[in-house]
Amino acid sequence: MKYRKILLAYNGSQDGKRALVECAELANFLGAETHLLAVASMPPSLFLTEGFVPEELLEEEKKRTQAVLDEGIDSLRQKGFQASGHLAVGEPVEEICRLAKELDVDLIVIGHNQKTSFAARWWKGSVGASLIDYAPCTILIALSHA
């Protein structure tokens, strides 16, 4: 299979930063188009009883996530790589799959540390949807053992 387009689900963590470099090197080697996705999501505990998140909390989360995305794009540029940035709001699994389908990507890259559960947000959505079950393409897991 030829990987023409690669999507990196990026969260700014140390694992994400390692995956960022691996993804960029792989994309460069393959001559693939690279896309970075950061997902702004609100913890369920912040939802009010009416089922919505106050607009100011959502805007703060979007600003924080945009800063993470900008940092990832800047980091790639400093290393001589190019990537398109995408900001989404919602459940990470759903947004990763949606953008992967929309962009018709061939590979999704995700950083994961086997010793922490932080990256678990990439694996399960609000309804228990597994990224592995719903991804429209191959997934590469950049493992970190730190």
Structure tokens at 49: 């009883």
Q: For the residues of 97-110, what is the DSSP string, one character each?
A: HHHHHHHT-SEEEE
pLDDT for 146 beyond 90: no
Interval 27-55 mean pLDDT: 76
102 close to 53: Cβ distance less than 8 angstroms? no
Domain ranges of the chain: 5-144
What residue type is assigned to position 65 of the chain?
A: T
pLDDT of amino acid 59: 87
For tokens 């387009």, the residue is 5
Model pTM?
Answer: 0.83
Q: Does domain 5-144 have CATH number 3.20.20.70?
A: no
How many other C-beta atoms can be found within 10 angstroms of the C-beta atom of residue 18? 17
What residue type is assigned to position 109 of the chain?
A: V
Give residue-wise pLDDT tens across range 47-105.
554 555 577 778 888 999 999 999 999 999 998 899 999 999 988 889 999 999 999 99
* Residue 126 banded pLDDT, cuts 50, 70, 90: very low
